Structure 1
Amino acid sequence: MTAVRHHDEPEPILPSSSNPVPRGTPLPDSLAALLVEVAERLTATTADAPLAALRAVGVLERIAARVGREAAGVLAEDGVSAERWPPGSGPPAPRP
């Protein structure tokens, strides 16, 4: 039986029983497990302490932006063109 997603639910990005094949470059198992745990804890925190959840999301956004820029820079230094990057994993947009 296929699970029905509500229109406001994001598309799953991590492997799970309902989404067994991740898109793009595979994540190391330990990183995928950590991201699943973070998502679960944020979801639980949202119910109990929504302001804390928002603060954590802000921290994660800053981490993702910084690491994304670093990873894109490494790929560029290695001569990997943007056309070869997996779909949806292009470089982050430049900061204003």
Structure 2
Amino acid sequence: MKYSIDYQQLHKGQHRPTDDGVIVGVSFDSESGFALIPNVGDVVDVPEMGGHCGVYGVVKSRLFTYTRLGDELFCGINIVVEEADIDHGTLIKE
């Protein structure tokens, strides 16, 4: 199975996330092992880089969409990150 991951930012006060295009650009297949993806409630910080938008906040939802193309199964994973005020001192000691 082939997978791709897309992130979308949900800004404060909004009901729907923005679609800013490819943010991280992760794709993999089940034969190559695994990829770590954040779970609901996890804090995500992907800075803007290389012309790509970033996301920051807490994972609100993950949507797994499965599509069959001929004999191959494809899974698109959409991760919505809700903007949040986060006290980094409670997450990590630097």
Normalised by the length of structure 2, the TM-score is 0.19
Which protein shows a greater Rg? 1
* Higher share of residues assigned helix: 1
Determine which structure has greater relative contact order: mean sequence separation of CA pairs < 8 Å that are 6+ residues apart, divided by chain length.
Answer: 2
* Higher share of residues assigned strand: 2
Normalised by the length of structure 1, the TM-score is 0.19
